[in-house]
C-alpha cells in the first residue's frame, strides 16, 4: 500500500550551520517496503551481468567425426566420438550459453522503491547548500574539511548526490575510497543502499523533485 509522507530536511551551510528547512512529499510503500526495495536491488544487480559465458557442446567441438575404434571385439567400452563429454578435449555437458539476465520491473515500481529507500535513509541524510559552487578546482583537502564541518566521518561510506556531473568534486572525492559521487539523473537503489550516509545538495533535491514529481 502506498502512502504520501512528508520529510523535512534541514539545510546546512558548508560550516555545518542549519538555517532553513526543505520539505519533500514522497509517495512511498508502507507495508511491503523491504520487498519492493529487494526487487529493485535484484533487478539492478541482474542488469550488470553480461550473460556472455559460453561453452561448446560435443557437436560444436572441432574433430571427433571418426569412430575411435570398432564397436565390438576390442574389450573396451563402445565409443562413437572422441569429443564425448567423458573424454579429455570433449564437449561440456549442460555448459553455459549466452543468455539475458534481464528482470522486468515496472517504471512506477522502480520509482516507488527508490523513493521509499530515500525516505528510509532520511535519518542519515544531510542537505547542503553551496557545495557545487565552492569547488573551482579539484581539492580533496577542501572536501574533507567540508565533511568535518558537517560532522560526518569520512571513515563511513558516503554518497554525495549532485544536481549534475561536477568533475572538480568527482576528482576531489576519487582519492578517498569511502566517498562516491553521483548526479541526480543517475540516482539508483544500489548506491543508496550501500551508503552509510547521504549528502545531497539543494540543487540535487530540486532536480529529484522535478524528475520524480514529488
Question: For residue 31, what are the CA distances in angstroms to 112, 116, 170, 204?
Answer: 13, 11, 37, 28
Across the chain, what does the average pLDDT equal?
A: 90
How confident is the model over 98-133, as pLDDT tens digits?
A: 999 999 999 999 999 999 999 999 899 999 988 888
C-alpha cell recorded at residue 105 = 520491473
Domains of the chain: 2-49+105-212 (3.40.1370.10), 52-100 (no CATH)
CA distance 142 to 145: 5
The torsion of the CA quartet 150, 209, 114, 24, rounded to 10 degrees, works out to 60
| Tens-level pLDDT at each residue, the chain (214 residues) | 788 888 888 898 888 888 888 888 888 887 888 899 999 999 999 999 999 999 999 999 999 999 999 999 999 999 999 999 999 999 999 999 999 999 999 999 999 999 999 999 989 999 998 888 888 889 999 999 989 888 888 889 999 999 888 899 999 999 899 999 999 989 999 999 999 999 999 999 989 888 876 6
Best CA proximity match to 160, nearest among 133, 189, 192: 192
The model carries a pTM of 0.82
Q: Hunting for cell 567441438 — which residue is that?
A: 61
SS3 77: coil
Tell me the residue ranges of DSSP E strands in the chain.
2-12, 18-29, 125-128, 158-162, 179-183, 197-201
Amino acid at each position: 500500500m502506498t502512502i504520501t509522507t512528508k520529510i523535512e530536511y534541514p539545510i546546512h551551510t558548508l560550516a555545518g550551520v542549519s538555517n532553513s528547512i526543505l520539505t519533500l512529499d514522497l509517495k512511498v510503500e508502507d507495508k511491503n517496503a523491504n520487498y519492493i526495495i529487494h526487487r529493485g536491488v535484484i533487478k539492478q544487480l541482474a542488469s550488470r551481468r553480461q550473460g556472455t559465458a559460453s561453452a561448446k557442446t560435443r557437436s560444436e567441438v572441432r574433430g571427433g567425426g571418426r569412430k575411435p575404434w570398432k564397436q565390438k571385439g576390442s574389450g573396451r567400452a563402445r565409443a562413437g566420438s572422441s569429443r564425448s563429454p567423458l573424454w579429455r578435449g570433449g564437449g561440456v555437458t549442460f555448459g553455459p550459453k549466452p543468455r539475458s539476465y534481464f528482470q522486468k520491473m515496472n517504471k512506477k515500481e522502480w520509482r516507488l522503491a527508490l523513493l521509499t529507500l530515500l525516505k528510509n535513509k532520511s535519518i542519515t541524510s544531510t542537505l547542503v547548500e553551496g557545495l557545487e559552487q565552492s569547488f573551482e578546482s579539484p581539492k580533496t583537502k577542501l572536501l574533507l574539511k567540508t565533511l568535518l564541518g558537517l560532522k560526518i566521518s569520512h571513515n563511513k561510506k558516503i554518497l554525495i548526490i549532485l544536481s549534475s556531473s561536477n568533475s572538480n568534486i568527482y576528482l576531489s572525492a576519487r582519492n578517498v575510497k569511502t566517498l562516491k559521487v553521483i548526479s541526480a539523473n543517475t540516482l539508483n537503489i544500489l548506491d543508496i543502499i550501500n551508503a552509510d550516509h547521504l549528502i545531497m545538495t539543494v540543487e540535487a533535491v530540486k532536480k529529484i523533485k522535478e524528475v520524480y514529481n514529488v
